[in-house]
A and B are shown apart, each in its own frame.
Chain A
């Protein structure tokens, strides 16, 4: 483990929170000042996170930028932060989406502006915290911290059914996570019974070999917490409601980052801590994922509400992510992670796209629109690119993720891969139909005739997403490189015969090749098998 010299992760973690604290002292009537400050802090949060991309050493399989301090010695909980390649990418996604979400709210939110930005910034800290915590209790703390700001974002600034959707989101997630807490406690006590030390150290938990029946039910406890968040069929019912009623920025963050918490949980906790139970539950999860893929796509086809359609497409896409993950092959897991990023980029953009017309027209009915490409050409072009990205057109990001997932799944089971491919075809069907109905044809609705095209600010919210979509589509190597050791780490745990690609991951097979510059790679990982 390499210790951090400057506490970079803490900086990234607390910048948004400092922003929220600063906003507390600003007069609630000076709304533009509040907007500027909030955007500045979101941008600052992104800027301090950028070094992660460069500082992260892809050759070092250990946890990096580690910060470790005592927090609650009585129960062995620590302030323990660290990242691997996977969390680096998710943190960057979170900070970037944070900037976009702030920027997209400039004119959309006009009531109770101050609280709005405070909640957004608090949410930001919660999300980043969950990605950087290497202490399970600390992770849980941040995991739960996200609930309240999101609840308010939906409940106060949402549309029609906002209170119902907000409480549904809250209670679904809460039930999942309190059961997960019991799972965490079970691992905590098991670890104590083996090592005699009370700790929530995740790196230590990654070394545990719990008996199967114990793993079995801990897996179910974790599963409930993470599956609700992903969301997997049949725990997905909160998602369409929450998405539809959330304000645009809320939807974007929910889709792009919050859903990743679930898959992050599976990769960080379920797989490495509970490898045998993971293998045992593969059929169940694959089945649920496949149902999710097909069901999500079919329901999306039937939607008349633009935003609901995108929400159901999320269910379908996250099913794909889960399928790739539980193929338990290195390619499948890599594809799954890449697809998580893609989903963040693409679906985030799609929600922004809905948000822009909603702000102009205050309706999400697809039938209200038509022929928008004539009135808003720039908007239509961006929508086209994102549609193509969503359905997996080569040269765009979606393609890379889907190919990797299919490849990873194919070697395990051809039938699964076949069904997943059907899901992709269905995805093309509903997305292209949506595009055709809203963008092509003549402007039939007179209200649409004078719609202004994107403003500079709105255009700016799309720029980073477009760049990433093309970047990952054409040259995904920098991303894949960063994932290599993370995926190996998981693979070594779930498959005892797996030989990691980097020699130093498994201390025994080290032949000097690819030896990292810093010799301080984690001894913890050497013991993992």
Chain B
């Protein structure tokens, strides 16, 4: 009902509007200046910066907009910042890669911005349809981005696989959502929550829960719904892989937290059990599979699966500390994972694909800065202090221990020790093995900025994580809190 919308509603989605206008501008600029391919990058960066700046004015705001469809709370803002930073770094690492691949950049940036837009709605939505639209906006952008290297067979295959499996999982998720609607009579999370409260558990509710969990598990690449991830990650253009493994994952977790914490708290005992099994499987299978990989992108894909498992542990904890843990973890994960992919992207040169582990050989002798950065990213992914990854793991394990889930915590820490085995292998290649042939590695200014941003964050949040913790704690406190007051007047 458009008539129901007020100026305030538009005000609260101003960042999203700016982002959308920016995305369209990129397309238009690309269309007008057909002969130049260097204008879309600044437009994209300015758009993202402007959106971030606008978003900053919403820090501390805690309300709902658009007749209860969107929550503008700390939780949403925290995640939106993460998406924008992710998009920003992804864009920075793209130009040199696109040039080598000979791809025109206009539509590429447009799609990145569209995906970001979808993610932002996934963090804000407190209503199933809104969340679903956000999810699809993001997913469709990613289907195209994955297949963006048209002459590249692996890219095409990855895109098709991702599309088919993605569509199937979306169907499963949608079916689950429709059953939730059938049970509760509403698509609003708060209303679903209150109507499920007194309800006897029935087969229908269980089925709805299982379908929603399965659909979500696909999006976060949790085992056994992870099969798509390694192939898609390997085939997609490397910056897209980075964006996919960080942005799309964080967005899916935002949606997952929203749906389960605000919509289905009544079923917590059921989904806790499901997620704890998913977490154990995801961590273990992810880490063990990663050990045997010889392709860096594939290895990072499996490692990213394992990281979903750690974040799931935070959700299993089922407490505000758990949500904080998941958010802190994602907050540090975006930097270390993006950084690692930035290095892989950097290795792509006209004569080298650069995604095999052996392509990293002797990197230290060619580019010490890149090797130091990659060392920090690997240690951070492995959770070794004083890197940011340790602080993430600290939160996850403390959330689980707080609830007395000692076995889960032990599985978690043993997994994080196993993971070091393959992260250290990367370090061995870079620091100890001899150099390999191949043209010089050149760090463009954009790529250098991307690496420096991720490097600084990966160290800074390891030594002084207080700001991140504060914001995550404040954001987690708003999760679930708005739901109770956001019912339509």
Contacts of B420 in A (CB 8 A): 170-171, 174
Asked if A50 is at the interface of the complex by the 8 Å CB criterion, the answer is no
Proximity string of chain A (353-369) to chain B, C-beta cutoff 8 Å, 1 when within and 0 when not: 00000000000000000
Asked if B401 is at the interface of the complex by the 8 Å CB criterion, the answer is yes
Chain A's interface size range is 20 to 34
Pick out which of these stretches binds chain B: A181-189, A267-275, A380-388, A398-406: A181-189
Q: Is the CB of B428 within 8 A of A163?
A: yes
Contacts of B466 in A (CB 8 A): 71-74
> Which residues in chain A, 432-460, are within 8 Å of chain B measured between CB atoms?
none
For B466, give the chain A residue with the smallest CB separation. A72
A114 smallest CB distance to B (angstroms):
10
Q: Is the CB of A148 within 8 A of B401?
A: no
Proximity string of chain A (175-199) to chain B, C-beta cutoff 8 Å, 1 when within and 0 when not: 1001101100110110000000000
Q: Is the CB of A74 within 8 A of B398?
A: no
Q: Is the CB of A167 within 8 A of B424?
A: yes
- Which secondary structure dominates chain A's binding surface? helix
Q: Which of B384, B385, B410, B473 contacts A182 (CB 8 A)?
A: B410
Asked if B390 is at the interface of the complex by the 8 Å CB criterion, the answer is yes
Given contacts A72-B466, A186-B401, A189-B402, is CB(A156)–CB(B431) below 8 Å? Answer: yes
Proximity string of chain B (320-348) to chain A, C-beta cutoff 8 Å, 1 when within and 0 when not: 00000000000000000000000000000
Q: Which of A75, A175, A189 contacts B417 (CB 8 A)?
A: A175
Asked if B143 is at the interface of the complex by the 8 Å CB criterion, the answer is no
Proximity string of chain B (435-470) to chain A, C-beta cutoff 8 Å, 1 when within and 0 when not: 000000000000000000000000000001110011
A180 smallest CB distance to B (angstroms):
9
Asked if A46 is at the interface of the complex by the 8 Å CB criterion, the answer is no
For A172, give the chain B residue with the smallest CB separation. B417
Given contacts A73-B466, A145-B385, is CB(A182)–CB(B406) below 8 Å? Answer: yes
A196 smallest CB distance to B (angstroms):
14
Asked if A140 is at the interface of the complex by the 8 Å CB criterion, the answer is yes
Looking at B386, B390, B401, the one whose CB has the most chain A CB atoms below 10 A away is B401
Contacts of B398 in A (CB 8 A): 75, 185, 188-189
Asked if B21 is at the interface of the complex by the 8 Å CB criterion, the answer is no
Contacts A170-B420, A181-B413, A185-B401 supplied; 13 other A-B pairs, CB < 8 Å: A75-B398, A141-B385, A141-B390, A147-B384, A148-B384, A152-B431, A167-B421, A175-B417, A178-B413, A179-B410, A182-B410, A185-B402, A188-B398
> Which residues in chain B, 385-414, are within 8 Å of chain A measured between CB atoms?
385-386, 390, 394, 397-398, 401-402, 406, 409-410, 413-414
Given contacts A145-B386, A148-B379, A182-B410, is CB(A163)–CB(B432) below 8 Å? Answer: yes
Asked if B416 is at the interface of the complex by the 8 Å CB criterion, the answer is yes
Residues of B bordering A, CB below 8 Å: 379, 384-386, 390, 394, 397-398, 401-402, 406, 409-410, 413-414, 416-417, 420-421, 424, 428, 431-432, 464-466, 469-470, 473
Given contacts A182-B409, A186-B401, is CB(A74)–CB(B469) below 8 Å? Answer: yes
Q: Is the CB of A179 within 8 A of B413?
A: yes
Q: Is the CB of B386 within 8 A of A141?
A: yes
Q: Is the CB of B384 within 8 A of A144?
A: yes
Proximity string of chain A (189-225) to chain B, C-beta cutoff 8 Å, 1 when within and 0 when not: 1000000000000000000000000000100000000
For A182, give the chain B residue with the smallest CB separation. B409
Given contacts A144-B384, A167-B424, is CB(A72)–CB(B397) below 8 Å? Answer: no
For B324, give the chain A residue with the smallest CB separation. A74
Q: Is the CB of A182 within 8 A of B432?
A: no
| A140 vs B462: C-alpha distance when bound (angstroms) | 13
Looking at A73, A75, A171, the one whose CB has the most chain B CB atoms below 10 A away is A75
Contacts of A140 in B (CB 8 A): 385
A211 smallest CB distance to B (angstroms):
14
Contacts of A182 in B (CB 8 A): 397, 401, 406, 409-410, 413
A23 smallest CB distance to B (angstroms):
13
> Which residues in chain A, 39-98, are within 8 Å of chain B measured between CB atoms?
71-75
Q: Is the CB of A75 within 8 A of B384?
A: no
Contacts of A185 in B (CB 8 A): 397-398, 401-402, 409
Given contacts A167-B421, A189-B401, is CB(A72)–CB(B379) below 8 Å? Answer: no
Asked if A155 is at the interface of the complex by the 8 Å CB criterion, the answer is yes
Contacts of A188 in B (CB 8 A): 398
Q: Which of B397, B414, B432 contacts A156 (CB 8 A)?
A: B432
Looking at B384, B410, B421, B466, the one whose CB has the most chain A CB atoms below 10 A away is B384
Given contacts A72-B466, A167-B421, A188-B398, is CB(A155)–CB(B428) below 8 Å? Answer: yes
Asked if A151 is at the interface of the complex by the 8 Å CB criterion, the answer is yes
What are 22 A-B pairs with beta-carbon distances under 8 A?
A71-B466, A73-B466, A74-B469, A74-B470, A74-B473, A141-B385, A144-B384, A144-B385, A170-B424, A174-B384, A174-B420, A175-B414, A178-B413, A179-B410, A181-B413, A182-B397, A182-B401, A182-B406, A182-B410, A189-B401, A189-B402, A217-B406
